[in-house]
Amino acid sequence: MSNYPQPNYGYSNQGLTSRGGTGQPSSSSSGGQNREEVSVQLGHPALEYEEGVHTLRQKVKLLKRMSNSIGEETSLRGKLIDSLSSGFDSATESAKKAKKELDKVYKQARAGHLLALMFFSVGLFVFVYLVYKANRFARWFLPKGRRE
């Protein structure tokens, strides 16, 4: 072991013992050596407490201001997020409607509607052409005074 006295910390072979904390120097034997306890007071405790309380009050006031500003910022952010979420919801609904319409158009195109429309327009053109030619053919047979 070392030559220095070992602290007891209130523990002995018999178990924990209470320390005599009276603030008076005491002498106890530990390994054949004497040990003295000295208590030291620095300054007046009431002044230290007042300064500590004053600094704590300043810190509490600062924390209150910060918590109020954090609360205001949180409410602003919450309102912004609510408006963004409602905007996203309406955009999502619009995108779903557009997708349904595109699916409908795609199914109609696959079903041959576009081909039927093309045949209808070609048939109409042929019909108008034939009526025009028939009119010219009929005018050829009419006498010259009746052509107008």
pLDDT digits (tens, 9 = 90+) for 35-56: 676 655 555 666 678 888 889 9
- On the question of pLDDT at 7 being above 70, the answer is no
End-to-end CA distance of the chain: 142
**Helical packing angle, 45-110 and 113-141, nearest 10°:** 40
- pLDDT value for 64: 95
Taking the C-alpha atoms of residue 102 and residue 98, their distance in angstroms, rounded to an integer, is 6
Q: How many CA atoms lie within 13 A of 108 on its CB side?
A: 10
What residue ranges do the domains of the chain occupy? 44-107, 111-141
CA–CA distances in Å: residue 25 to residues 40, 60, 97, 102: 11, 41, 90, 95
Taking the C-alpha atoms of residue 148 and residue 144, their distance in angstroms, rounded to an integer, is 8
Confidence band of 23 (pLDDT split at 50, 70, 90): very low
Taking the C-alpha atoms of residue 5 and residue 29, their distance in angstroms, rounded to an integer, is 10
pLDDT digits (tens, 9 = 90+) for 74-129: 999 999 999 999 999 999 999 999 999 999 888 877 777 778 888 999 999 999 99
Instruction: Give the three-state DSSP class for 2.
Output: coil
